[in-house]
Amino acid sequence: MIPLSLAQISDAAGGSLRLAGDDTATTVVSGVVETDSRLVEPGGIFVAKPGEVTDGHEFVDAAVERGAALALVERPVAASVSQIVVADAVRSLADLARDVVARVRVAGDLRIVGITGSNGKTTTKNLLTRILQDEGETVAPRASFNNAVGAPLTMLRTTATTRFLVNEFGASGPGEIARLAALVEPDIAVVLMVGMAHAGGFGGIEATFAAKSELVRAARPGGLAVLNADDPRVIAMAPIAAERGLEVRWFGRGPSAEVRALDVEVTATGTRAELEVDGVRMTLRLQVLGEHHVANALAAIAAATALGVRAEDAVARVETVEIAERWRMQPLGSDRVRILNDAYNASPDSMAAALRTLAQITGPDERTVAVLGAMSELGEYAADEHDRIGLLAVRLGIQRIVVVGADARRMYLEAIAQGSWDGEAVFFPDADAAYDYLLTELRDGDRVLVKSSNSAGLRFLGDRLGESFS
């Protein structure tokens, strides 16, 4: 974080300052802001956020032991550290983030990018960060820090020398993206797609469209919207961009896109695509597996080139990225049995894309095995969407369909209904039972996809399989 006095931090957070030790209102703090006491570094700020299971106030002493110089609390605690007492720690965290980013923007040359979409946010964020970090100091979220706590924590890592701030904006309901994006007013708003992810929380696909379009509405007037020319709902955001005074830069497969993929070839070692960037042809050799990640790469390249990066440099840097993120199409195992662990998150769109990738990268003498768990946050659409995935797995000719967990059982029942009744589809109530089965079932030449939402926990099953067949 930029250096600020305790008084300045207190004013920004809207709290009451309680000094300790030799501190005064003019004492300057510039350390990293954390909500996890285990991550606090000397000189940092600890935010005592109440949680569903634990209360951050119980860990203030632990944060002080690790060197915290300040605690943001909702009630005073008996600790040898200066404290700022606020009504709502999460709201004050956001207010502090807004203040810090505004100060950096006024004083320097900070450019801010916001990314949202039903799928692909983290991959696009990582690809864009890889491009920009060679241009100057770049701040981006760790993992998927894209919610009401994670997004402000990322913003607060901005320093006086930061040139690019890349924000990933997720949401579980209407208004959340609007609130988070308003903290920074991005210069560039990137919208990847509007799909069924979190549709249960939003109340349907049209409500999801409204939520994702919040990023475009929150962009800095006169800025840029980077939009997916292949998604009709994202295309429908162009009038919103115009109302905001934003230019639009399109990415996709069609002829209207300034950054487009002309031909795509998926293999077991990566994805090759012929690109056209502002009329210039070039080849992209993406190490990240899956045809769907080409769109993410196009979005990252479109945003980077709008920020002044040469297209050739952007493509070359994207090609160095080996995996999107841990548990996202992560190759494990060995040449004998290859595991694709893609169980960090799942929606109907990403589940379908992962299954198609499995079918595309499996050779004629190899066997496809899909280990599938539940897709969360689909609400009233859950039954139909799980049915559709079971149907798709059969139509793609997946040779072993292993469904895990009661919430995913509809996929198994649909696969059986579609003709996979001779052992091709099996069901297990939990990951341990599935693991025991797979240890004896998997054989040389198998190509295994492990795919589920985070809540299903199959990412750990993928890790276990990767170790067992390495």
254-306 pLDDT, tens digit each: 999 999 999 999 888 889 999 999 999 999 999 988 888 999 999 999 999 99
The CA distances from residue 444 to 7, 321, 329, 399, 459, in Å, are: 65, 28, 20, 14, 22
Q: How far apart are the C-alpha atoms of 84 and 9, rounded to whole Å? A: 8
Q: What share of the chain has pLDDT > 70, as a percent? A: 98
pLDDT band for 51, please (50, 70, 90 cuts). confident
At residue 197, the pLDDT reads: 59
Is residue 177 within a helix (H) or strand (E), and if so which, with residue range?
helix 176-182
> How far apart are the C-alpha atoms of 323 and 287, rounded to whole Å?
7
CATH 3.40.47.10 at 330-468, yes or no: no
Residues 6+ apart with CB under 8 A from 1: 29, 30, 31, 32, 33, 45, 100, 156, 157, 158, 159
What is 4-87's CATH topology?
3.40.1390
Q: Does domain 108-318 bear CATH number 3.30.420.40?
A: no
Q: What is the pLDDT of residues 55-84, one digit of tens each?
A: 999 999 999 999 999 999 999 999 899 999
Residue 200 pLDDT greater than 60, yes or no = no
Report which listed range, 140-149, 194-203, 245-254, is most confident: 245-254
Cα–Cα dist 351/393, whole Å: 10
Residue-averaged pLDDT of the chain = 93
Rounded to whole angstroms, the Cα distance separating 65 from 53 reads: 22
Beta bridge partners of 82: 70
Average pLDDT over residues 97-103: 98
Q: Where are the domains of the chain?
A: 4-87, 108-318, 330-468
Residue 393 φ/ψ, nearest 5 degrees: -60, -40
DSSP letter at 141 equals -
Average pLDDT over residues 134-153: 90
The pLDDT value given to residue 269: 82
